[in-house]
């Protein structure tokens, strides 16, 4: 019996390259013991990516297009791709050929040998700029410290067995970190090193601010340690206050009331800062709770046009 492997490709504003890339991905991913299908998830592109994907689908019937009503983000696109994939295994990869599709037959071989997750890990970070490297380094170091998961070099380029996909889809969680959840799940896995290729045209759509928000959300969705740090901060401030208090009282009983303007100023600033930072951290978690409790879907699929009759 032939196996079906689904390829999930998130697409956002890639009109210049997506038509050729989808064909190139299918060509490179082919193998003789499995069939392929490709789900291109158009994440609310503002250019003509949808039309390009539909064109690709008209040329090659293995390609399907799922379009969002607006931009919901790459995580949502991966989620929708997994939800629409029918394969016995699913491979998630970028649409800009930075995740070399030539690796897919090798990933499939590992899967056939019985592994549930096959991850392509970055041997190096390609020719990404230095400050990106530093940012990523800081993120993975913090993530390791806070969440206890070492994701260094990990990417979203992964093959998942149907079992893993179904488990992933059954999670009630809405705001997800794909890489983190698969790492956390701990299924038997293999790693294949790869070199991040240069982008095959177009430009990255991740601004520094978007990356920072993504990083903070991912850390706090895997760890409540920042909340505990708030208590530590409180204890620290209290201890500091205690020392200052005793010193001030001692001075007063000695009859040497000090010129306390600077001290008071400093205390107000330090305590005010500590309280506001703590509130910010708590506020962040409350916002995350609020988002999850509302239970809105992580994405909405654009309905296909109704026939005019
Ligand atoms: N992408 C997406 N939604 C977004 C941003 C990006 O689906 O809001 C897709 C994009 O089309 C690409 C992949 O995610 O297939 C990786 O994006 P990009 O190449 O811009 O990021 P980088 O490789 O620089 O991390
Ligand atoms: Mg890219």
State if pTM tops 0.85.
yes
- Are 275 and 161 part of one and the same domain? no
The model's confidence at residue 127, banded by pLDDT at 50, 70 and 90, is: low
31 inside domain:
yes
Most confident of 103-112, 127-136, 138-147: 103-112
User: Which bound ligand lies closest to the C-alpha atom of 8?
Assistant: 1
Q: Which of 203, 236, 271 represents a domain boundary (last residue)?
A: 203
306 inside domain:
no
- Are 192 and 248 part of one and the same domain? no
pLDDT of 218-246, one tens digit each?
Answer: 999 999 999 999 999 989 988 988 888 89
- Are 141 and 229 part of one and the same domain? no
Answer whether 34 contacts ligand 1 (Cβ < 6 A). no
CA 259 to chain CA mean position, Å: 53
Q: What is the mean pLDDT of residues 128-151?
A: 83
- Are 198 and 253 part of one and the same domain? no
pLDDT of 23-56, one tens digit each?
Answer: 999 999 999 999 999 999 999 999 999 999 999 9
Q: What is the mean pLDDT of residues 168-179?
A: 95
Q: What is the mean pLDDT of residues 194-211?
A: 87
Q: In CATH, what number is assigned to the domain containing residue 97? A: 3.90.550.10
Residue nearest to atom 2 of ligand 1 (CA): 74
How does DSSP classify residue 70? S
212 inside domain:
no
Full residue range of the structural domain in which residue 65 is found: 3-203
3-state secondary structure of 128: coil
Number of domains in the chain: 2
116 inside domain:
yes
Å from CA of 55 to ligand 1 middle: 21
- Are 79 and 22 part of one and the same domain? yes
| Among 205, 210, 298, residue to substitute to test ligand 1 (most atoms within 8 Å of Cβ) | 205
Residue nearest to atom 21 of ligand 1 (CA): 204
- Are 63 and 190 part of one and the same domain? yes
Å from CA of 137 to ligand 1 middle: 19
Å from CA of 44 to ligand 2 middle: 17
Output the pLDDT for position 126. 53
Crossing angle of helices 74-84 and 162-170, in 10° steps, is 120
Å from CA of 289 to ligand 2 middle: 31
- Are 7 and 97 part of one and the same domain? yes
- Are 189 and 91 part of one and the same domain? yes
């Amino acid at each position: 019996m032939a196996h079906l492997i689904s390829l999930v490709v998130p697409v956002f504003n890639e009109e210049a390259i997506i038509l050729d890339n989808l064909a190139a991905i299918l060509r490179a991913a082919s193998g003789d013991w499995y069939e392929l299908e490709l789900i291109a998830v158009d994440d609310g592109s503002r250019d003509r990516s949808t039309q390009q994907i539909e064109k690709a689908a008209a040329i090659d019937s293995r390609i399907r297009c799922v379009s969002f009503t607006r931009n919901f983000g790459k995580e949502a696109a991966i989620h929708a791709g997994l939800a629409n994939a029918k394969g016995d295994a699913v491979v998630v990869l970028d649409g800009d050929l930075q995740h070399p599709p030539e690796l897919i037959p090798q990933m499939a071989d590992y899967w056939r040998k019985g592994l549930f997750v096959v991850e392509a890990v970055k041997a190096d970070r390609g020719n990404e700029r230095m400050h990106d490297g530093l940012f990523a380094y800081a993120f993975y170091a913090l993530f390791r410290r806070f969440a206890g998961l070492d994701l260094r070099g990990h990417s979203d380029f992964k093959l998942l067995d149907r079992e893993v996909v179904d488990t992933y889809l059954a999670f009630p969680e809405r705001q997800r970190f794909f890489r983190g959840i698969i790492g956390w799940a701990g299924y038997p896995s293999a790693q294949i090193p790869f070199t991040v290729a240069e982008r095959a045209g177009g430009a990255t759509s991740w601004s520094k601010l978007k990356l920072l928000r993504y990083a903070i959300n991912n850390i706090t969705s895997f760890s409540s340690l920042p909340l505990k740090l708030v208590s530590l901060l409180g204890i620290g401030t209290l201890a500091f206050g205690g020392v200052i208090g005793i010193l001030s009282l001692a001075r007063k009983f000695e009859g040497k009331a000090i010129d306390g303007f600077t001290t008071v100023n400093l205390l107000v600033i330090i305590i005010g800062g500590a309280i506001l930072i703590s509130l910010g951290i708590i506020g962040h978690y409350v916002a995350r709770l609020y988002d999850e409790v509302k239970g809105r879907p992580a994405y909405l699929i654009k309905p296909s046009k109704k026939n005019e009759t």
